[in-house]
Structure 1
């Protein structure tokens, strides 16, 4: 339980410090998606839905851009989404590692490694 609380605390602070970057990337994704929505004459909610499906690289295929500019913007949305996801995963792994190092005796880990 203590490990989990440490992890949550570290993750909160990591997200706090990375919030400006994450917010910027999120706004870029939303702005590009709304641009595609206007080009394709989609509603705002449909454009937002399509944007997050594209940014997370899920790609259901139920909506797809037809115009060349929209397709170009969709590639930018996907790349920005990959950056966003990568940063989030990296922060989560780093905070888990920090919490692990704080709560685990590294001498004991080395002893276990020797026995394996």
Structure 2
């Protein structure tokens, strides 16, 4: 069965995402580590389980904010604000990679048919 044009574009898109992620991986991984470390610090300060702190870090960093874990201490709240900024930047980098990969995939395959 011959692959369709859209499946070819999709394959090129995934290759481009992988390529661009390898380029920004040092930044991307550092931001992920910051989320984990801030979450662990907050869990320590607030007396939470370590897993809850990491969970809080990602929920806050990805701006989901379920609200079942709420930091009470001023230092924890400051770290939560930093988590939010870090998460917005992380999301923006991934969005930029995705847009660039779409452009690259369409350009490589010769556009729409």
Residue 31 (structure 1) aligned to one of 26, 29, 37 = 37
Give unpaired runs (5+ residues) of structure 1. Answer: 109-116
Choose which of 48, 51, 55 in structure 2 pairs with 1:49. Answer: 55
Aligned length: 107
Give runs of aligned pairs for residues 76-115 of structure 1, distance below 5 A: 76-105=82-111
Tell me, yes or no, if structure 1 residue 60 matches structure 2 residue 58.
Answer: no
- Alignment partner, residue 14 of structure 1: 20
Gaps of 5+ in 2: 1-6
1:114 matched residue in structure 2: none
**Structure 2 length-normalised TM:** 0.89
Superposition RMSD in Å: 1.4
Q: TM-score, normalised by structure 1?
A: 0.87
2:78 aligned counterpart, secondary structure: helix
